[in-house]
Amino acid sequence: MQNLLTDRELLQELADEVESNLRRHIEAADGWQPHEYVPWDDGRNFGFLSGIDWEPGQSELSDTAKLALTVSVLIADNLPAYHREIGKYLRTGAWWRWVGRWTAEENRHEIMIRNYLMVTRSVDPIELERLRMDHMTKGFRRPALHLLDVLATCAFEESAAAIRHRNTAALGENAMVTAIAERIAVDDELQLVLFANLVAAAFELAPDQTIRAIADSVASFHVPTVTLPDGRSSDELLAEAGIYDPAKENELVFAPLLKRWNVFERTDLGDEGEKARAELAHLRTESLA
pLDDT in tens, 238-276: 999 999 999 999 999 999 999 999 999 999 999 999 999
**pLDDT tens across 155-201, in order?**
999 999 999 999 999 999 999 999 999 999 999 999 999 999 999 99
CB atoms within 10 A of CB 50: 7
> Mean pLDDT score of the chain, rounded to an integer?
92
**Contact assessment for residue 132 and residue 69, using Cβ atoms and an 8 Å cutoff:** no
pLDDT at 124 over 80: yes
Q: Supply the pLDDT for residue 232.
A: 83
Strands (E), 18-69: none
pTM, two decimals, is 0.93
How far is it, in rounded angstroms, from Cα 255 to Cα 3?
A: 28
Q: Is the dihedral of CA 75, 76, 77, 79 positive or negative?
A: positive
Q: Supply the pLDDT for residue 79.
A: 66
**Contact assessment for residue 14 and residue 209, using Cβ atoms and an 8 Å cutoff:** no
pLDDT at 136 over 90: no
**pLDDT tens across 49-108, in order?**
999 999 999 999 999 999 999 999 988 877 667 767 787 888 889 999 999 999 899 989
More confident residue, 87 or 11: 11
Closest CA to 73 of 114, 129, 117: 114
What angle (nearest 5°) sits at the alpha carbon of residue 141, between those of residues 249 and 199? 50
- DSSP designation for 253: I
